[in-house]
A = this chain, B = another copy of it.
Amino acid sequence: MRQTTSLSAEDAAIAAGFERFYELLRRLTPRSELSLTAASTLHRLDRGGPRRLCELHAPEGVSQPAMTQLVTRLEKEGLARRGSDPEDGRAVVVTITDAGREAVARRREGRTRALAALLEQLPAEEHAALVAALPALDRLSGLLAS
């Protein structure tokens, strides 16, 4: 078991690499129509299906009022809609609309395009190394999602 007070040099190297990479992705993301939280929430609704409002704010790491306001904005822009839960009159069930799905797709495509332009400048073996690392990235994401 790894000590929490000492970080391995290798982990530190990975973290440093990820840090630069995070900045890269941040700059790669076009100043879009969607805020970070809005994009992430829509993405979650897209792959996970409708959710109650109270099930959305915690995983997105924002307060409940922030999620209420976000859903209000999304609704106003036609990207999501509020519904009710027949089993619980208090609950608000949030559903992504087709327009919302399109917005998610557009955002993804914009980022993919910018990334692809960089990827094609990469030596073949580094490109291959990225592809080889994808399962690890997936697993990392999965670890936190649970």
Residues of A within 8 A of B (CB): 2, 4, 7-8, 10-29, 31, 36, 40, 43, 61, 108-109, 111-113, 115-116, 118-123, 126-127, 129-141, 143-144
Contacts and interface: CB of A to CB of B under 8 A. Distances in A.
Contact of A140 (B11, B122, B143): B122
Q: How many copies of the shown chain assemble into the complex?
A: 2
A16 to B, nearest CB: 7
16 contacts: A7-B116, A11-B116, A14-B131, A15-B115, A17-B138, A19-B108, A22-B22, A23-B43, A23-B141, A24-B141, A24-B144, A26-B40, A31-B61, A118-B140, A127-B136, A129-B136
- A-side interface mostly: helix
